[in-house]
Amino acid sequence: MKLSPNAKITEIKPAVPFSVVGIGMTTVDYLLIVPELPSFGKQLQASEFLRQGGGPVATALVGLAKLGIPVAYIGRVGNDFEGQFIRQSFIEAKVDVSHLDMQDNASSRIAMVLVDEQTGERCFTSRPGNYEEIDEAEIDLSVISNTQILHLDNAEPHTVRAAQIAQNSGTLVVFDGTWYSELLDAFLPLVDVAIVSNVFVKRWMPNVSPEIALDQLTSYGIKTCAVTMGEEGVIVQQDGQKFHWPSFSVEVVDTTGAGDAFHAGFIYGLLQEWSLERIVQFASAVAALNCMHLGGRTGLPDLPAVEQFLSQRNS
């Protein structure tokens, strides 16, 4: 598949039961809006509380479902309160959970998020679940080989295997760079589209600019790469050429899930076979709309909302 700012995608597999399948971390987010992010020993009164599903790939799938795309999640959580909450949140969002395993006597991952009511910036801490990560032998490979896009957020043995199956079957692999992993060198050559955050870049290659990070990503054979930079927008590179797209100016409530929403919009554009510039514009709009609400999923827009937003901004 080849992308360029003004050219349409020329190759994409026909529609299948699930257009997008995702494998990645999923959590329950507990969010509090506070007057300011706390310093040591300071007590703060929260003005709002929200419990919501989270996780990079998981939230992107919810965003795609909101845009009308059939999606499925592959993974495992604990069969506890949080795990049941995660599962029900997927079901309510119309994300297929046929391949979500619930492990008895295990806890699911949670995250505590404090959101600055003035800026929408946040700090958070998380508790990893103690469930066993899904093994590559447990993945239904036919689901991956029959989908159009496989969305992944980390390089682990089972995601490397999933990416290999996707590559061999013509399924597009989209990577949300979230954490550094020693398996990146084996994983990145299997990726078609890499969209990573500036935080990931700093962890992967400290003291390196986003532009150099893009060059490094393309050295693995990835033709389309992007680094998201929050309110500074996104830098995109394809076939050695870079362009910057500024973020939309909106009234920010919470930046949680902004990158995940961007991924949802980007993948939607890939499925529509749009030009790269149109894809980035659409993805930026999805992210901006999501930032206007508390939580990573509350503001995920449907298609008419994105179209209306872009129409108003382009008029």
Q: Please check whether residue 12 lies inside any domain of the structure.
A: no
Q: Please check whether residue 11 lies inside any domain of the structure.
A: no
Domain of residue 181, residue span: 20-36+47-314
Closest CA to 234 of 193, 293, 271: 193
Single pTM value for the model:
0.92
Q: Write the pLDDT tens digit of every residue in 184-234.
A: 999 999 999 999 999 999 999 998 999 999 999 999 999 999 999 999 999
Q: What is the DSSP letter of 223?
A: S
Closest CA to 265 of 248, 230, 290: 290
Phi (first) and psi of residue 110, to 5 degrees = -130, 155
* Domains identified in the chain, total number: 1
Q: Write the pLDDT tens digit of every residue in 58-107.
A: 999 999 999 999 999 999 999 999 999 999 999 999 999 999 999 999 99
Q: Are 226 and 262 in contact (CB under 8 A)?
A: no
Q: Please check whether residue 193 lies inside any domain of the structure.
A: yes
Q: Please check whether residue 234 lies inside any domain of the structure.
A: yes
Q: Please check whether residue 13 lies inside any domain of the structure.
A: no
**CATH code of the domain covering residue 170:** 3.40.1190.20
Q: Please check whether residue 42 lies inside any domain of the structure.
A: no
